[in-house]
Every structure is written in C-alpha cells, then in structure tokens.
Amino acid sequence: MAGERILLLNTSIDVVEALTELFEREQYVVTAKYVRDLRQGRLDPAVLLDEVKPRVAIVDIAPPLDENWRWFMDFRPLCKARAIPFVLTTTIETQVRELAGRDVIELLLKPFDLQLLLDVLAVAVGRKRDDALAAKWFPQS
C-alpha cells in the first residue's frame, strides 16, 4: 500500500519540512499544519480532519505546554470519533506525562528515532503488522 494520508501537526517549520520529506520518500501523502494555527482558531480541526481524512495524525506537544495540551484535549476526541490514531511527539517528556497521566501510553521523544516513527506509522496505516508495537502504541480502548 502507498499513498496513505498523514496529518502532521507541529510547531516548528524545520521539523515540518524534515518529517514531510521523510514521509514523502516513504510514499505517504502528508498534510502539514502548525499547532498554533489550530489552537488560535485560524484552522478548524474538525474541517481539517474531514477534508484530509488522515490514516494517522502526528501531533507535537510543545511549549506553551498548558495551551497546547488543552488544545490537544479538545482535538483528541475529534480523532477518536473518526477512528484516527495519533502519535504524540515532544521534547518535554516529564511535563507531558504529568499532564497526560494514564491517558498516553507512549511518547515519541525528540530527537526522533526516525525508524521507530516510520515503524509506528506503518503499523497505524496497515502497511506492517507488528502486534507488540500495535499494542504499545495503539491499545484498544
């Protein structure tokens, strides 16, 4: 399978460009947006999800942590309602884990393990079967 849609939501232009290039080399179709634009209401997250129809969303939780986490708590149910799995990325594991509590099973920390990120995406979109990885990253609710 090729051409699965990925929604990349990040705060850094450099990260957006680098990950977009990586994913496109793996033949994913990437739509990249900035968390700030969603958080500040310049983009409607429900409309974005309905238009892009991603197989997975990659969401960065970055400073300002409280604002971005509150936004993510509003965004998450929109993904769940559409059966879109998500992967969280962050540089601030301790603070995000404190905010998340038991809600987040695993975080992908920066600097990224790019192979792990590609493996998680492959499982999320069905390109690869890895029961252990799937159980860790996408536990059944």
Side-chain half-sphere CA neighbours of 135 within 13 A: 3
Q: How far is the first Cα of the chain from the last one, in angstroms, to the nearest whole number?
A: 26
**pTM higher than the cut 0.85:** no
The residue written with tokens 């947006």 in the block is 33
For residue 87, the model assigns a pLDDT of 82
8 Å CB contact between 47 and 31: no
Domain extents for the chain?
5-137
- Rounded-to-integer distance, Cα 92 and Cα 61, Å: 8
8 Å CB contact between 106 and 137: yes
For residue 106, the model assigns a pLDDT of 45
For residue 127, the model assigns a pLDDT of 79
Integer-rounded Cα radius of gyration of the chain: 14
- Rounded-to-integer distance, Cα 48 and Cα 38, Å: 9
Side-chain half-sphere CA neighbours of 78 within 13 A: 16
- Rounded-to-integer distance, Cα 128 and Cα 122, Å: 5
Going by CATH, does the domain composed of 5-137 fall within 3.40.50.2300?
yes
How many CB atoms within 10 Å of residue 121?
Answer: 23
Residues 6+ apart with CB under 8 A from 23: 6, 8, 30, 121
Query: Which pLDDT tens digits describe the chain residue by residue (141 residues)?
Result: 578 999 999 988 888 998 999 999 999 999 999 999 999 999 999 999 999 999 999 988 888 888 888 898 899 899 888 988 888 887 765 555 565 554 444 444 555 677 887 887 888 888 778 777 666 666 554
Share of the chain above pLDDT 90, in %: 38
